[in-house]
Structure 1
Amino acid sequence: MTYRLLDPPSEAVAEWLSSAALQDAETARREWESDGMTVLQCGSLFTAIRVPLDVVEAAAGEFTLPNELDAYLADALLGAPVIRCTHGRRLYVLCDPSTVKDWRVPGTECLGKGYELGVPRPDLIGYPGRTSSYWAVPISQPGNLGSGAAVSQLVLHGRFAVAREFPNPDHEPPRKTAVDLDGMRKAQEEILDLTRGMPGLVPPRAKLEPAVAELQVYVEDLVREVEAGTETEEDSAGQETTKWLIGRIRKNLAAELPPGDREAALQAEDLALCCRTLTAVYLRQQGASDRGASGD
């Protein structure tokens, strides 16, 4: 007997996912039909990055309702598929299997070979689901997975928000700053627009080069300003995280853009996402400076 889902997009995704079934594809599809959930093996088709919901909620700021948070995740993670557990207050972001090799983000875990994951039926989308998990952000097509760089930046943003309670930089009022934030954001978004279709659609290196060069014009000013502000911070944990982020940006800047299209796109995307997070740190530092100058 062949088990089919309700619409062709979900059916195509189900066929792809079921190839990672714990037992066999037919059993997985039968369990999706009867229970709405099945167990898949991580490491072959995807890795799953487990992220605490508290960190994501902190990063999202005022977007706290489930449907609002899901929309925020779709944007912040560039369309990466996300499974949300309604009981354990955690999320699983599905990324390329190679992500597990270099994953070093504190407070999270990247599940590769040897791990199993309960996966809801591909058409069980949005809160509240009838199972203990649902797709907060569904898989749009087979093989359309997320970027580990985007997940790491979301986590860093959330950890900063938890520790210092600064708002999402996209919602801050404009202020005069020593860094050309408008130019920087324009360059960041140009890179992220080019890499948005990954891993399926890889932009040519030649298209990335001008955007990366433009972003590099602003990065040194940003790094210099943040470093100066970091030295006066009293929060040692915040200092450590900021210095790690600056080190990552400098390592990226010191390396030439790789010759291969995919490698170049991954490096460019990582630089843009790191700069986005460092911009949030800079704006938080500026806010603290403004409050100190006014005597608050």
Structure 2
Amino acid sequence: MDNAQQATERAVAEWLTKEHPVPNQVWTEWSTHGVALLPLGKRFAAIRMPMEVVHAAVESDDSVQVTAVLRDLLGGPVVYDRRVVGTTYYALVQCSADLSWAHGEVAPCLGRGIYLGVPRLDRLRPPGTYWVVAPRYPGELCPPQAVATLVEAGRRRLVEAAEV
């Protein structure tokens, strides 16, 4: 990794840590556990997308293909976690997304009062929580409309499959 990449990665990490009231705690958790709990609602929110919805939307459960499609369709950071509420993808979005988010019954938008396990930037594959798509620059987030389109497609395909 060259100096410019290191500087960018450091800037992204610092941006993420500022979500926490005690940024040094985030660095310690990343160092110790590889994942830090960040409170949502200050710099970003997260849309919790069940694995079944995501895989139906991209029409694949192959991790390489899922990553490529999510990178292209969502254009922002996505975390994968299978420890808390089943296998789940979290798309990071702007905090205001929960004000107009219409897909809460399938993929809720999580904000203030919720903590999300956010992996260290170099955690790009299993085991545990990792980045499916890591943020490329400070402040990069998924456009909520892109996430909505993905969720709608996955939901529609699941309904169609259940009818067959």
Q: Same fold (TM over 0.5)?
A: yes
Rounded Cα–Cα distance in structure 1 between residues aligned with 2:7 and 2:35: 19
Within a 5 Å distance, the mapping from 1:138-287 to structure 2 comes to 138-165=134-161
Q: 3-state SS of the aligned residue for 1:7?
A: helix
- One-letter amino acid matched to 2:77: P
Other-structure match for 1:101: 99
Q: Looking at CA atoms only, which structure, 1 or 2, has the larger radius of gyration?
A: 1
Alignment gaps of 5+ in structure 2? none
Match of 1:49 among 38, 47, 50: 47
Other-structure match for 2:64: 67
Other-structure match for 1:84: 80
Runs of 4+ in structure 1 deviating by more than 4 angstroms, as ranges, are: none
Q: 3-state SS of the aligned residue for 1:20?
A: coil
CA deviation vs aligned residue, 1:101-128 (integer Å, no higher than 9, x gap): 1112131111111111111012212x22
Instruction: Give aligned pairs, total.
Output: 155
Q: Is the 8 A contact 1:42 1:114 kept in 2?
A: yes
TM-score (norm: length of structure 1): 0.50
Structure with greater helix percent:
1
**CA positional deviation for 1:65:** 1.3
- One-letter amino acid matched to 1:98: S
Rounded Cα–Cα distance in structure 2 between residues aligned with 1:128 and 1:28: 20
Q: Higher relative contact order at CA 8 Å, sep ≥6: structure 1 or structure 2?
A: 2
Rounded Cα–Cα distance in structure 2 between residues aligned with 1:46 and 1:64: 27
TM-score (norm: length of structure 2): 0.88
Identity %: 35
Match of 1:26 among 24, 43, 64: 24
Other-structure match for 2:12: 13
Structure with greater strand percent:
2
Rounded Cα–Cα distance in structure 2 between residues aligned with 1:34 and 1:9: 22
Question: What is the alpha-carbon root mean square deviation over aligned residues?
Answer: 1.6
Q: Is the 8 A contact 1:10 1:123 kept in 2?
A: no
